[in-house]
Amino acid sequence: MNVRPRIFFGFDFAVVILVCLVTASSGAAQAKNPYAGDAKVAKLGEFEFRANCAFCHGLGARGGGRGPDLTRTPKKHGDSDADIFNTINNGVPGTAMPPNGATQQGVGMTEEELWQVVTYIRSVEKKASTVSGDANHGRELYYGSAACGTCHMFKGKGGRLGPDLTGAGTARSTEYLTESLRKPSRRLAQGIIEAMKEFTEEYETVNVVTNDGTKYQGTLLNEDSFTIQFMDMREQVHSFDKASLKSLQKSRESLMPAYDEKVLPDKDLQDVLAFLVGGGQGGVK
Amino acid sequence: MNAGKEPQNWLMYSGDYTGRRYSTLHEIDAANAGKLTPKWVYQTMAGGKFETTPLVVDGILYGTGQDDRAFALDARTGRPIWQYQRGLPGDIRPCCGRVNRGLAILGDKVFMGTLDSHVIALDTKTGNVLWDVSAVDYTKGYSFTLAPLVIKSLVLVGVSGGEYGIRGFIDAYDANTGEKKWRFYTIPGPGEPGNESWEGESWKIGGSPAWITGTYDAETNTTFWTTGNPSPSNRGEGRAGDNLYSNSLLALDPDTGKLKWHFQFTQHDEHDYDATQVPVMVDDGGKKLILQANRNGFFYVIDRTNGKLIRAESYAKVSWAKEKDANGRPVPAKEGLPTLEGNKVCPGAAGATNWMSPTYDQQTKLFYVTAREQCDIFSTAPQPYDAGHAYYGSAYFPNDDAAPFYGALRALDPNTGKIKWEWKHPSPTWSGVLSTAGGLVFTGDAEGNFIALDAASGKALWHFQCGASIYSSPMTYAIAGKQYVAVAAGSSLFTFGLP
């Protein structure tokens, strides 16, 4: 057929209702996983996971560019089996996580299949994250000498040029976060998600010279074939017709400097991670 | 039905039996396209992908919408004459969205295939249901999403469900009564030629759906249909062999459903490379051809009198095939097969193109196709078959290293297979293409723009931001000499014309 779990982000209400009727018949699951701990069911869940979830969450649930590492605990949107069931079935509004079956390309899962996936996820979970840094020092670095806060908001405080990092510590693996700090251009962060649009925008770098010679540098907000929207270094939002510009260059070289070991020694890196993973609340000790 | 004699009407999915999606209307042309302006918008208020190509007959537009809606509108004003909403059962399992691509028409009836695997006839004046027949048990994963094709007094439909381990088929129903006249199984049964191309009992659940509308050559009384992937799509183990007639072009007798010949594009497919792209009939000098830019990345030119391959050239990045067989047919390379941990292959799972219609312009003699430049990581794992449940043999993943992906409208020269020009899209799109005698091609993009381009040069002449990604193929019609162009986007059908 068409293609399978290419994820769409159009959370249409009618579709959500239909999906809930069609697949797992109600939004609220029974409280208990009927298959908890059953290795055979976990294996069945792995098939479902590969077909429906791995596109974003990666093989083995270890996370991909788009979805969080699900081998981590506790889960951000509720950690009981019923919570995980509901997260899969209903999606997480405001995030890239769609409701079950509403991907427009894949096949929705039945209630039985959802429990299989929950059982599978449980079977691959690892012990709680082992970030050993000092979260308080991480906070000092974030808003101080490391200057993360210049461009990244965290719980309402900080800049706007880069993505908000409030949820990054719980959504992303420490490996992903480390890579984002050490090699920010390796994998650009995802930007705006539009309903029904297959690909999200990314935090590409934009260099523009207007017809009157004004130069702007900034990060991409959105674009189509004819226009471009971006935020400049002074956090001003611009929109131009591409044809009206003297020059337009886009680059996948991030505006974020690479925090190598000279700039951010390993110990300090661990402290920043502890701050992010701990959600700013003193971190994981 | 002779669409060529009434260019003001759009009588079938691809405009006419050739599948060219080309119109001889020329009021809108390269000189005035920049002045195009919206005429009206019809909103279905439905979610999901809006894939319809509407029909227009004598001023009335007939279309379908998500969740098996259908509607008739005054094609001049967009005002509804009637609306139909099928009461769908709660347990349908359409694979890839609750979509429908359009209707067929004959006399006072329009015909629709439904997500619960029925074929129905609606009265053109009222939308009343005139007949309703069940083709197959939808709970096993069967559905209809395509626009039917009417030939003489028969309504032809092909089934969807390649994600479920179905056994694909093409059916013909009497337009007056709904009586089934024939069924052609796209997987031969025991004793039939081709059945030996399946390992053991795998033919029973081998997929090979036929979910895009065919074309028809009245001169030889042959209808051409294309088929989709063998099941499970990403795993070849357990179905050793070529898996006929998956990913094939079929030449059928429309009166009997008998197979005249077949050509298989991708044998023993493990990448979901459905051949479900409209097989476009083109006559070049004395040569009778079928042109198809396939999901697998090759542009095929085939002799439609006998199914012999004339040429296959890649039109997008390809890594699944490294060489061609003695007949010039690309063959799968070992190193391009899916693995347990994943293997990067081009084109990706959505293909170098997909179901969105190409067009053949009779003036430029070029073939225009929506190309998708995107590679994916294909993985495979054993999966038990369970009737009515998804049966993929695992998944694919975006290959982040290959980002950014992009799309392009490409103008191909059928004589050489070479790309004459391309219009690059910021990201891969699912919009089809229309060409007109005004020297224009129309297409859309994932960013929501509907665009008119100069057919000869590929220069964009006009665009309109529809506000949602376009998942449909545009069409054109005329009322009282005034030309309109229509395209579905989001939950709305947009029409444009000159001021």
Q: How many domains does chain B have?
A: 1
Chain B residues with CB inside 8 Å of A18's CB?
67, 98
Identify whether residues A21 and A80 lie together within a single domain.
Answer: yes
The reported pLDDT for the residue numbered A104 is: 59
B347 touches chain A (CB under 8 A): no
Are B209 and A108 in contact (CB < 8 Å)?
Answer: no
Chain A residues with CB inside 8 Å of B349's CB?
3-4, 6
Identify whether residues A235 and A266 lie together within a single domain.
Answer: no
Would you tell me which residues 249-288 of chain B have a C-beta closer than 8 angstroms to some C-beta of chain A? Answer: 272, 274
Average pLDDT estimate for B123-129: 98
Residue A55 confidence (pLDDT) above 50? yes
Residue B131 has which token pair?
């007949």
Going by C-alpha positions, the residue among A282, A248, A278, A222 that lies closest to residue A74 is A278
Hey, of B44, B99, B392, which one would you mutate to test binding to chain A, going by the most A CBs within 10 A of its CB?
Answer: B392
* CATH number of the domain to which B21 belongs: 2.140.10.10
Going by C-alpha positions, the residue among B470, B469, B96, B391 that lies closest to residue A105 is B96
The reported pLDDT for the residue numbered B403 is: 64
Q: Which residue range is the domain that position A206 belongs to?
A: 186-255
Q: Which residue has the tokens 């082992």?
A: A130
Are B428 and A2 in contact (CB < 8 Å)?
Answer: no
Rounded to the nearest integer, the mean pLDDT of chain B is: 96
Residue A235 domain flag: yes
Residue finishing a domain among A105, A124, A143: A124
Q: Which residue range is the domain that position B91 belongs to?
A: 3-497
Q: Work out the widest C-alpha separation in chain A, in whole angstroms.
A: 68
Indicate the pLDDT class of residue A173, thresholds 50, 70 and 90.
confident
Residue A197 domain flag: yes
Residue A79 domain flag: yes
Going by C-alpha positions, the residue among B196, B332, B221, B327 that lies closest to residue B269 is B332
**Distances, alpha carbon A65 to alpha carbons A58, A104, B138, B401, in Å:** 8, 20, 36, 10
* CATH number of the domain to which A143 belongs: 1.10.760
Are A15 and B98 in contact (CB < 8 Å)?
Answer: yes
Which residue in A4, A6, A194 is closest to B163 by CB distance? A4
Q: Which of A76-90, A131-145, B399-413 has the lowest mean pLDDT?
A: B399-413
Identify whether residues A174 and A273 lie together within a single domain.
Answer: yes
Would you tell me which residues 41-70 of chain B have a C-beta closer than 8 angstroms to some C-beta of chain A? Answer: 46-49, 67
What is the ipTM, given to two decimal places? 0.93
- Closest residue in B to A14 (Cα) is B47
Q: Give, in degrees to the nearest 5, the angle at Cα B49 between B25 and B276.
A: 70
Q: Which residue has the tokens 């960013």?
A: B447
Q: How many domains does chain A have?
A: 3
The reported pLDDT for the residue numbered A23 is: 43
Going by C-alpha positions, the residue among B401, B436, B447, B466 that lies closest to residue B25 is B436
Identify whether residues A273 and A247 lie together within a single domain.
Answer: no
Identify whether residues A195 and A98 lie together within a single domain.
Answer: no
Identify whether residues A154 and A268 lie together within a single domain.
Answer: yes
Identify whether residues A201 and A179 lie together within a single domain.
Answer: no
- The answer for residues whose C-beta is within 8 angstroms of residue B120's C-beta and 6 or more apart is B86, B111, B112, B114, B129, B131, B132, B133
The reported pLDDT for the residue numbered A72 is: 81
Are B379 and A46 in contact (CB < 8 Å)?
Answer: no
Q: What is the distance between the alpha carbons of residues B338 and A59, in angstroms, rounded to a whole number?
A: 14
Q: Which residue has the tokens 């991480």?
A: A138
Residue A216 domain flag: yes
Most confident of A26-40, B324-338, B391-405, B482-496: B482-496
Give 3-state DSSP helix, strand, coil % of chain A, rounded to 5: 35, 10, 55
Residue A247 domain flag: yes
Q: Which residue has the tokens 């479902």?
A: A48
Per-residue pLDDT of B167-196, as tens digits, reads: 999 999 999 999 999 999 999 999 999 999
Per-residue pLDDT of B63-81, as tens digits, reads: 999 999 999 999 999 999 9
Strands (E), B199-341: 215-217, 222-226, 248-252, 259-264, 280-284, 287-293, 298-303, 308-314, 321-324, 330-332
Identify whether residues A110 and A73 lie together within a single domain.
Answer: yes
Residue A246 domain flag: yes
DSSP conformation class of B377: E
Per-residue pLDDT of A254-275, as tens digits, reads: 999 999 999 999 999 999 999 9
**What is the amino acid identity at position B36?**
L
Residue A54 C-alpha from the chain's centroid: 14
Identify whether residues A35 and A47 lie together within a single domain.
Answer: yes
Question: Over pLDDT 70: what percentage of chain B?
Answer: 99
Q: Is B272 a catalytic residue?
A: yes
- Closest residue in A to B159 (Cα) is A1
Residue B295 confidence (pLDDT) above 70? yes
Going by C-alpha positions, the residue among B394, B395, B349, B391 that lies closest to residue B374 is B349
Q: What is the distance between the alpha carbons of residues B245 and B251, in angstroms, rounded to a whole number?
A: 11
The reported pLDDT for the residue numbered B482 is: 98
Q: What is the distance between the alpha carbons of residues B280 and B357, in angstroms, rounded to a whole number?
A: 10
Chain A residues with CB inside 8 Å of B390's CB?
4, 48, 51-52, 106-107
Indicate the pLDDT class of residue A6, thresholds 50, 70 and 90.
very low
Identify whether residues A160 and A268 lie together within a single domain.
Answer: yes
- When computed from its CA atoms, the radius of gyration of chain B, rounded to whole angstroms, is 21
Hey, of A2, A40, A103, which one would you mutate to test binding to chain B, going by the most B CBs within 10 A of its CB?
Answer: A2
Residue B80 has which token pair?
């509804």
**Catalytically annotated residue among B67, B116, B242, B272:** B272
Strands B475-479 and B460-465: unpaired
Query: Over A38-93, what HEC string results?
Result: CHHHHHHHHHHHHHHCHHHHCHHHCCCCCCCCCCCCCCCCCCCHHHHHHHHHHCCC
Which residue in A1, A106, A198 is closest to B209 by CB distance? A1
CB A71 within 8 A of CB A123: no
Identify whether residues A95 and A142 lie together within a single domain.
Answer: no
Per-residue pLDDT of B38-49, as tens digits, reads: 999 999 999 899
Indicate the pLDDT class of residue A7, thresholds 50, 70 and 90.
very low
Are B67 and A225 in contact (CB < 8 Å)?
Answer: no
Q: Give, in degrees to the nearest 5, the angle at Cα B280 between B275 and B285.
A: 135
Are B49 and A4 in contact (CB < 8 Å)?
Answer: no
Residue finishing a domain among A83, A99, A124: A124
Going by C-alpha positions, the residue among A269, A245, A30, A242 that lies closest to residue A135 is A269
Q: What is the distance between the alpha carbons of residues A257 and B161, in angstroms, rounded to a whole number?
A: 49
Chain A residues with CB inside 8 Å of B448's CB?
197, 224
Residue B377 confidence (pLDDT) above 80? yes
Backbone angles phi, psi at B188, to 5 degrees: -65, 145
Which residue in A50, A197, A224 is closest to B395 by CB distance? A50
Identify whether residues A59 and A171 lie together within a single domain.
Answer: no
Rounded to the nearest integer, the mean pLDDT of chain A is: 84
